[in-house]
Chain A
Amino acid sequence: MADTTISATFDVYRFDPAVDRSARYQRYTLDLAPHTPVLTALLRIRAEVDPTLSLRYSCRSAICGSCAMQVNSKSRLACETQIGPEIARHGRIVVEPMHNQPVLRDLVVDQTPFWREYERVEPHLKLDPARPMPADRPTSMTPEQVERFKETPRCIACAACYSSCPAVEADPEFPGPMALAKLYRYVVDPRDTATRERLVGIQAGGLWLCLRCHLCTDACPKDVRPSERIRDLKELAIAAQGATEPGSRHAVGFKESIRGAGLLNEMQLVRRTYGPLGLFGQLGQGLRIWRKKPEVVRRPHRIEKVEEIEKIYAALDTGSEAPK
């Protein structure tokens, strides 16, 4: 069997706040089969080399979501990440705790901020007390209604998305991909009666801070595609309440601004998003850019056949999109 193993170098993040002033990386080298999961390797290190290594895990089968960590700078489930491809790509395996959550010890993070955002979206059915669910039979849904949940029921709350999210990193007001994907799941649930208040709440509650970078969708081990569910929530929020926030005003303003000429009208969009007073606040920066790029204040030329754009809008932008 010896010829089927590879020598795998692990650089593992170590930090014990009771002893260490700062984090360090400890190197372990093991001979392992290329298909060995990173989690199995870490458990072997703990059992055979270093019993002080702390990590969180449970099922080892990519179901419980406990063992998410940074493997070579990507948020992954350690139990389903094999060492072979990592070694082939990076030459070694750097294992670090998840980002965006304080480190308790080694690879174990304090998930309080992640769960706080989860609780904030009230991830449970809100029912109409006047219309309780029947106790004696299941509630039926049409296949179309079920389809609207999309991939969200697959979420195992591993926090890989939260760990990979640059908006979470940059702004505590952003609830994070998982909480928003969960919220979406209740917004489209036909049994839930709080759809509108959920959408109104989230429109002002950080929804528009999503950067659309799709790092969460890449990180998600269950293919929940959180960034797409956040997009869905944005469209639903506008449909439910209109554009009430800078982010939604910008999205709707952008949509309207390409209507006349078929191309973006930068000045008009800035005016729509900020309003006349806000526009005044952008004057200094605008002037700075205008000196080098005078086109910023120019109306765009009109594309040929721009009337086609208007007709497409007339057919598809009727303001009654996305019914529940």
Chain B
Amino acid sequence: MKFAYYPGCVAQESGKELDLATRWVCRALGIELVEFPSFSCCGSGFVDEANEVLNVAINARNLAIAERAGLNLLTICSTCQGMLTLANHRMADPKVRARVDGALKPLGIEYRGTVRVTHLLRVLVEEVGLPAIRAKVRRPLAGLKVGAFYGCHLLRPTDEMGGEGGGDGEEPHSFEDLLAAIGADPVYYRGRVMCCGFPIQFVKEATANRIAGHQIQDAKSHGADAMATPCPLCHITLDAYQNKAEKAVGARLDMPVFHLPQLVGLALGATPEELGLPRHLVPTEPALARVRPSGA
């Protein structure tokens, strides 16, 4: 199993722990990650707002890099997954394609449209497979109640993302299935498919923080000891800005938030340090303490 690895901006900088955990888990499961130092930012949805065709073009360039190497592309961020997938769809519009080709061809770049964009979550569930993961679990996360938080762009618009993102459209459960496979107890709550507030963090902070706070409260009221997300932007909002979310909703939240591969890594035997857990703003130790020792 071999992919063009698209880490995205955040996992290369302030979300470095996500990159660490991804590499650890992929090594443990035999997923080969091929790096391309020429990958650019996906635009994160913001470039799309400012200039749709430009956004398609920078992502068509990214896709062309993977295509030249004959590889499908693996993302570890719901937003990167969304932007790259949308670029694939929008390139099917002849008018968009003509403008994008007009910019790329003089650079000797051509994207034929053959790259499949897939998120680590989907690779783990559908390609590695839950039985194979279950067989490698060394430390089941028994007793840990986890609220999955998917991130919008992994799931929607369903017409575009249904086949490539979460994969299960209206009622996603792939993340919860994965959590169950590593021994954790998935918690179902309304907020799991909702927005974290990140896109308007810079527009109207108070509203963004309130939205984040409500999602965390929702997970908590359904019994979650921790949350987990396949999106580093959701992670910034839910972890690094949780202090602001607490102020916005007027309640202590104390909710540890894991990146998806960190929980998988813990179950497969990685140490918290190997997965970058000490880098979190909300301490993860209380959640880890909930895990029942094996055999108990």
Binding site for B on A (CB under 8 A): 73-74, 89, 166-167, 170-171, 173, 208-215, 217-218, 225, 227-228, 231-232, 234-235, 238, 245-248, 250-252, 254-255, 258, 262-264, 266, 270, 273-274, 285, 288-289, 292-293, 295-296, 298, 300-301, 303-306, 308-309, 311-313, 315-317, 321
Are B9 and A171 in contact (CB-based, < 8 A)? no
Are B40 and A303 in contact (CB-based, < 8 A)? yes
Are B49 and A292 in contact (CB-based, < 8 A)? no
Are B203 and A258 in contact (CB-based, < 8 A)? no
B210 at interface (Cβ–Cβ under 8 A)? yes
Near A by CB (< 8 A), chain B positions 184-222 give 190, 194-195, 197, 199-200, 202-204, 207, 210-211, 214
Are B54 and A316 in contact (CB-based, < 8 A)? yes
| Nearest Cβ on chain B to A80's Cβ, whole angstroms | 15
Are A74 and B38 in contact (CB-based, < 8 A)? no
B114 at interface (Cβ–Cβ under 8 A)? no
> Is the contact region of chain A dominated by helix, strand, or loop, or is it mixed?
helix
Hey, which chain B residues are within 8 Å of A293, CB to CB?
14-16, 240, 279
Q: Name the one of A170, A212, A252, A308 contacting B211, with C-beta atoms under 8 angstroms.
A: A170
| Given A258-B58, A263-B41, A321-B53: 11 more A-B contacts, CB < 8 Å | A170-B210, A210-B200, A213-B199, A214-B152, A217-B156, A247-B200, A255-B51, A258-B41, A296-B13, A303-B37, A315-B102
B180 at interface (Cβ–Cβ under 8 A)? no
Are B49 and A235 in contact (CB-based, < 8 A)? yes
Are B203 and A255 in contact (CB-based, < 8 A)? no
Are A89 and B50 in contact (CB-based, < 8 A)? no
Near A by CB (< 8 A), chain B positions 157-178 give 157-159, 170-171
Given A263-B9, A311-B107, is A292 in contact with B279 using a C-beta cutoff of 8 Å?
A: yes
Hey, which chain A residues are within 8 Å of B45, CB to CB?
212
Are A258 and B152 in contact (CB-based, < 8 A)? no
Hey, which chain A residues are within 8 Å of B15, CB to CB?
293
| Nearest Cβ on chain A to B65's Cβ, whole angstroms | 9
Binding site for A on B (CB under 8 A): 9-10, 12-16, 37-41, 43-54, 57-58, 61, 99-100, 102-104, 106-107, 109, 152-153, 156-159, 170-171, 190, 194-195, 197, 199-200, 202-204, 207, 210-211, 214, 240-241, 243-244, 278-281
Q: Name the one of B39, B107, B159, B203 contacting A246, with C-beta atoms under 8 angstroms.
A: B203
- In the A-B complex, the 6 residue pairs with the closest CB atoms: A214-B156, A254-B46, A315-B103, A264-B9, A213-B195, A262-B40
Are A308 and B107 in contact (CB-based, < 8 A)? yes
| Nearest Cβ on chain A to B49's Cβ, whole angstroms | 4
Are B51 and A304 in contact (CB-based, < 8 A)? no
Are B14 and A266 in contact (CB-based, < 8 A)? yes
Are B194 and A213 in contact (CB-based, < 8 A)? yes
Q: List 20 A–B pairs whose Cβ atoms lie within 8 Å, in order of A's numbering.
A: A167-B207, A214-B156, A218-B156, A251-B50, A254-B46, A255-B51, A258-B47, A263-B9, A263-B13, A263-B41, A264-B9, A264-B44, A285-B241, A293-B15, A293-B279, A300-B12, A304-B37, A304-B38, A305-B38, A308-B61
Using CB atoms, name the residue of chain B closest to A249.
Answer: B202
In the docked arrangement, what's the CA distance between A222 and B243, Å? Answer: 40
Are A166 and B194 in contact (CB-based, < 8 A)? yes
Using CB atoms, name the residue of chain A closest to B52.
Answer: A235
In the docked arrangement, what's the CA distance between A293 and B13, Å? Answer: 8
In the docked arrangement, what's the CA distance between A139 and B111, Å? Answer: 41
Are A311 and B103 in contact (CB-based, < 8 A)? yes
In the docked arrangement, what's the CA distance between A209 and B78, Å? Answer: 20
Are B103 and A234 in contact (CB-based, < 8 A)? no
